[in-house]
Amino acid sequence: MYLCSVMKPDINKYKGIRPGKVIDRELKKRGLSQRELARQIGEHSQSLNAVINGHRSLTTALSIKLDRAFGYDEGFLLALQAYYNAFEYKLQEEKVLVSGTPDIRKIVFWDTIFDRLDWGRYRDTIIQRVLEYGSEDEKEEIARFYGICASELTKKQ
């Protein structure tokens, strides 16, 4: 027995979100347990649970079963997995491109744990924060750290 869905989701709203989160949200909306869904689609509940919790990527076979069960367009969840994989790859790529820590006062980032800042992932937010609250020396430091020329940095203000 397959469930039907009245609304088909727009994939653009979900790009970069792990498919397991979408599946979990759909289950909660429908008041359905993971075990019950797994039984309905002929899948092991452990496999479904691993996807929902982000321990495993969504396979083609499972995505098609879930698309049918939820009434999604065929390939929706698999495309979502591909977008998520690309998003994660770009995050890892950004981490590699930026190494070290700029010489900036920790007080500029009073609302975060300075030593845990992801300088690659939050580049634009960090630049904006330094432009807003940093000294002239810190603005020069952030420009040096990210390899930005001064004129480009003033455009961001």
Note the pLDDT of residue 1. Answer: 43
Please say if the pLDDT value at position 93 is more than 50: yes
Note the pLDDT of residue 155. Answer: 62
Q: How far, in Å, CA of 97 to CA of 119, rounded?
A: 10
Q: How far, in Å, CA of 72 to CA of 79, rounded?
A: 12
Strand, helix or coil at 109?
helix
Structure tokens at 97: 């491109």
Please say if the pLDDT value at position 60 is more than 80: yes
Instruction: Kindly give the residue spans of alpha helices, DSSP state H, lying in the chain.
Output: 19-30, 34-41, 45-52, 60-70, 76-97, 123-133, 136-146, 150-155
Which residues of the chain are in CATH 1.10.260.40 domains?
A: 11-96
Confidence of residue 92 (pLDDT cuts 50, 70, 90): confident
Confidence of residue 49 (pLDDT cuts 50, 70, 90): very high
pLDDT tens-digit profile of 109-132? Answer: 999 999 999 888 888 899 999 999
Four-way CATH pick for 11-96: 3.30.70.20, 1.10.3430.10, 1.10.3470.10, 1.10.260.40: 1.10.260.40
pLDDT tens-digit profile of 15-27? Answer: 889 999 999 999 9
